[in-house]
Amino acid sequence: MGRLISIASGKGGTGKTTTAANLSIALGKMGYKVCAVDADLTMANLSLVMGIDDAYTTIHDVLAGRADINDAIYATAYENVHVIPAAIDWEHVIRADPRRLPETIKPLKGKFDFVIIDSPAGLQMDAMNAMLSGEEVLLVTNPEISCLTDTMKVGMVLRKAGLAVLGFVLNRYGRSDNDIPPDVAEEVMEIPLLAVIPEDPPVREATLEGVPVVEYKPNSPGAKAFMELAERITRIAGFKARVMR
């Protein structure tokens, strides 16, 4: 059976979607069958980052009772990686019932090795429904104290709700001389630090190109950090790398 991993944070703009996309493709490169789910129902953009911009059926249609989840799964240009996109128009948002997210997403674990769920930030109802669609959670934060503490709170709530908190990603480290160092961040978060993603221009360039950096510039520091994150996740999950591509 596959692993259901929610990508979560206490604040918007930390890099959850970037992390979800790059982790998905990195796992695909390692030979795993992956489905990335855009569960951010009001601010969807995972599908655009992963090169799907013309999806007819989306998770919103499924949550509105108008389609089956299997009709919303799309192959991407990246080997072993599929995506379930979300709609970007308000009409679809209004029709979708976010309370159906867990029952919609959980059955995917029988089809994929990893289901990566890109969730909204914070602890509002939409965010909670998305995050609780997973069985495990990977937190994403930036090296700023307010971001760390808000994300720590999300982790505490999710742990109490029954999710296993795998650890956290310290994203965009090195932007400022005032950045909180990784060892201090780990002390604040009180969970394992799984990866430090440096502030790396190719990551932003890749986003503008609509191609995740692990594919856009695989030898860049940011891409290597995301690949290392994927390796850590597979070790935690008890998987062995199948094929490195």
Q: Is 19 annotated as a binding residue?
A: no
Q: Is 15 annotated as a binding residue?
A: yes
What's the Cα-to-Cα distance from 65 to each of 46, 100, 160, rounded to whole Å? 22, 10, 30
Q: Is 12 annotated as a binding residue?
A: yes
Q: Is 33 annotated as a binding residue?
A: no
What's the Cα-to-Cα distance from 75 to each of 34, 52, 153, 201, 213, rounded to whole Å? 10, 9, 35, 28, 19
Q: Is 11 annotated as a binding residue?
A: yes
**What are the backbone dihedrals phi and psi of residue 13, each rounded to the nearest 5 degrees, phi first?**
85, 10
Please tell me the distance from the alpha carbon of residue 54 to that of residue 128, in angstroms, as a whole number.
Answer: 28
Which among 41, 70, 189, 68 is positioned nearest to 128, based on CA atoms?
Answer: 41
Q: Is 111 annotated as a binding residue?
A: no
How many alpha carbons fall within 13 Å on the CB side of residue 126? 17
Q: Tokens representing 139?
A: 């937190």
Contacts 24+ apart (CB under 8 A), 214-220: 214/22, 214/25, 214/26, 214/29, 215/25, 215/78
Q: Edge-to-edge strand order for the sheet containing 34-38?
A: 74-75, 81-84, 34-38, 114-118, 3-8, 136-141, 164-173, 193-198
Which among 5, 45, 19 is positioned nearest to 169, based on CA atoms?
Answer: 19
Q: Is 42 annotated as a binding residue?
A: no
Name the DSSP letter for residue 135: S
Annotated binding-site positions for ATP: 11-18
Annotated binding-site positions: 11-18
